[in-house]
A and B are shown apart, each in its own frame.
Chain A
């Protein structure tokens, strides 16, 4: 009995909850674009089955850096949502621009030929489930 009393706290220690502190590393900040800069392409998001989404994706050239900006955007929550710049409306040939976060700006790698990509996707990578698609049209 004494042993059980001794071991029980150790067991409880092991079965403690997950620990998630605050992010202490600086996230890369993007520079603002001048007002009245026209987007290179725009598209409104359309949801896939069972998903709610609003807003649009716009591609801007900010200096030498192309970037995707999400405007008036919201989407159903998902566990591992990514922003993809894609050649198709499904994630077959794409560029992963990173996690969908509270940020609205996603930089596109400089080696990417932006004009070859016609879609912005919101995709759950962990469960391989497509959430939303924005078909881009040139402005």
Chain B
């Protein structure tokens, strides 16, 4: 049973969501509440997510996660992301971010289990990748270039999980230099020296299994509130607010996991947004995502 729980836990470690928050970090954060069992101290997860973005942009975003269980309460995870964006500007890919997250499970009660997490997001780029010296919108950047603090809380009640989290940019190293007026298209807003506001997340997940317990399904709904309007520096060196870039996004996500054995599982994830913000300059919006993830514990 413990091993099965381990696989389930791994199965929840990373999801693909249709509308990003900050580099998809906060979107998969609920999974970090799950920890490995006592028998396996290590877990590795490798995944690749295909997504469609704004205008004609498509993405392939592989990632790798390593989780180390310190003791029955505490675990540490690290994650590295990579992303290749393809669209009318061309193709551009690079490493995105590193995530370092600690998860603490509080003493379980009869039907409930609280856990909390604290983490950092460290960008690998300053969000100013170019093609042939031409500046690209954030939709083509593999990272937003912000160092973020991530904090969250999870309540597990029977087959339900309730996550809440915040992702706060604490240091902005975004050096993007994209101007709409120099680009011959109105598909993307200007994001020169972009400054981003925080996100808050709430997610509800219901987990059920087939009788053989080989298959696990986890439909979930994710609410993300972008807590303020982002801004950029215009061509005259003045900071300008991007109107209507704050607000609510609601995503639907379904995950199907197949347990190969007690140590290995494979997972498919599909997601799409039901509600999006009016203006989405960060390039994290996806019309649709499909992910495949392999997990192993040892």
A contact residues vs B (CB 8 Å cutoff): 3, 6-7, 10-11, 13-14, 16, 18-28, 80, 82, 91-102, 109, 125-126
Contacts and interface: CB of A to CB of B under 8 A. Distances in A.
Interface of B: 44, 46, 62-64, 80, 82, 84, 86, 88-95, 126, 128-135, 175, 177, 179, 181-185, 192-193, 235-237, 294, 296, 298
B89 A19 contact: no
Contacts of A3: 296, 298
B89 A126 contact: no
Contacts of A80: 128, 175, 177
B134 A101 contact: yes
A95 B294 CA distance: 50
13 contacts: A10-B46, A10-B64, A11-B64, A13-B62, A14-B64, A20-B91, A23-B90, A23-B131, A23-B132, A24-B88, A27-B134, A80-B175, A96-B179
Contacts of B182: 28, 98-99
Contact of A125 (B80, B177, B298): B177
B194 to A, nearest CB: 13
A18 B129 CA distance: 10
Given A28-B184, A91-B237, A22 B179 contact: no
A92 B82 CA distance: 36
Given A20-B91, A20-B131, A99-B182, 8 more contacts: A7-B296, A14-B82, A18-B129, A25-B183, A27-B184, A91-B237, A96-B192, A101-B134
Nearest to B296: A3
Contacts of A19: 84, 91-94
Contacts of A21: 86, 90-92, 131
Contacts of A98: 179, 182
B90 A26 contact: no
Contact of A82 (B46, B89, B177, B183): B177
A26 B270 CA distance: 34
Given A10-B64, A21-B91, A22-B90, A94 B185 contact: no
